[in-house]
């Protein structure tokens, strides 16, 4: 035995009780929360590189409770702008998963995809969104479902709000201008 070789008297038998299982949603929530500072830094760096100035007047969300963050969708910059402020998962149309570069990042970051053309899949998506909110992750949704120019507004899709009700999660409105 040398001083360079670490030695421990513990063996696998030292553990007296098995590790409790963790749900996939809770494991994803922990991973996303731990990556939050990196995502915020990268999103802020992207905005700086594009010479976009970000001003936020919001308080930080509770770290232990999932919140449904509801925002208007002005441009593709909305997503990095909001990610620069707070770690969030996203609800996005399923087609985003197939986009080059963006799709891979969205899948790895825990984006919840919705099939807008398949109404039968909606209850499963709402249940998944509620499960993610219950696990403590905050989720960003654009309830109009697409970007809108100027002062025009679309119809709010209610499914995400149902998920917040099912999860007993607060809803936080955000305005992007």
CA–CA dist 74, 153 (Å, integer)? 10
Model pTM score: 0.70
Is pLDDT of 111 > 80? yes
| Range among 22-26, 35-39, 58-62, 100-104 with highest mean pLDDT value | 100-104
Mean pLDDT of 151-171: 81
Q: Which domains does the chain have, with CATH numbers?
A: 24-52+62-174 (3.40.1010.10)
CA–CA dist 141, 160 (Å, integer)? 7
CA–CA dist 98, 92 (Å, integer)? 12
Residue matched to tokens 């963006």: 102
Tokens of 105: 């990042």
Mean pLDDT of 131-149: 80
Tokens of 141: 């949704």
Beta strands in 38-168 (DSSP E): 68-71, 89-93, 112-114, 139-141
Output the pLDDT for position 168.
93
Q: Which residue has the higher pLDDT, 62 or 65?
A: 65
Is pLDDT of 11 > 70? no
């Amino acid at each position: 035995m040398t001083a360079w070789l670490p030695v421990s008297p513990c063996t696998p038998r030292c553990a007296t009780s098995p590790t409790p299982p963790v749900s996939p949603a809770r494991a994803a929530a922990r991973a996303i929360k731990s990556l939050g500072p990196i995502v915020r830094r990268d999103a802020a760096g992207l905005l700086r590189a594009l010479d976009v100035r970000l001003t936020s007047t919001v308080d930080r969300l509770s770290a232990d409770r999932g919140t449904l963050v509801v925002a208007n969708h002005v441009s593709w910059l909305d997503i990095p702008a909001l990610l620069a402020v707070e770690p969030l998962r996203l609800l996005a149309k399923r087609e985003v998963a197939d986009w080059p570069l963006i799709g891979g990042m969205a899948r790895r970051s825990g984006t919840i995809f919705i099939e807008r053309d398949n109404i039968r899949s909606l209850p499963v998506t709402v249940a998944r969104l509620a499960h993610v909110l219950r696990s403590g992750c905050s989720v960003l949704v654009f309830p109009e479902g697409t970007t809108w120019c100027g002062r025009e507004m679309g119809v709010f899709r209610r499914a995400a709000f149902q998920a917040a009700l099912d999860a007993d999660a607060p809803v936080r409105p955000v305005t992007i201008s």
